[in-house]
Structure 1
């Protein structure tokens, strides 16, 4: 599994994922659209944790910087 998610992309996924999970659990009850928002939030956090996005692989996107060897 080749990592294809950069640092800024990881942080954005974590923040958005946590926001979606917070939306899901707002007011102590499950709000409207909780299944979609909660699932999407968990997927974003999981892809940030592993630094790998299968959709990026299919689309040929790579936000990770190439390491330069000096």
Structure 2
């Protein structure tokens, strides 16, 4: 489908941030825009970030670039 462009450390950070934003939205600490946490969570699950493709970024290791 898409070539991976999100590395392991980046995936972990995205998942944590995404889950934290969603938790804030669920438990009332965050505003409704806390649901934007679905975006970093989804990009961490599929290891692909469309914004990275646009700007030519890649946080994967050398092996994943082949």
CA distance 1:49–1:25, change in 2 (3 Å):
same
SS at 2:44 equivalent: helix
1:17 maps to 2:18: yes
Match of 1:59 in 2: 55
Name 1:33's counterpart in structure 2: 31
TM value normalised by structure 2: 0.86
Distance 1:31 1:67 in 2: 41
Point out where structure 1 has 5 or more consecutive residues left out of the alignment: none
1:14-37 superposed Cα distances (whole Å, 9 cap, x missing partner):
0000000011011xxx55521x22
User: Which is greater in Rg?
Assistant: 1
Report the TM-score when normalising by structure 1.
Answer: 0.81
Structure 2 unaligned segments of length 5 or more: list them.
none
Number of equivalenced pairs: 63
Name segments (4+ residues, structure 1) moved above 3 Å. none
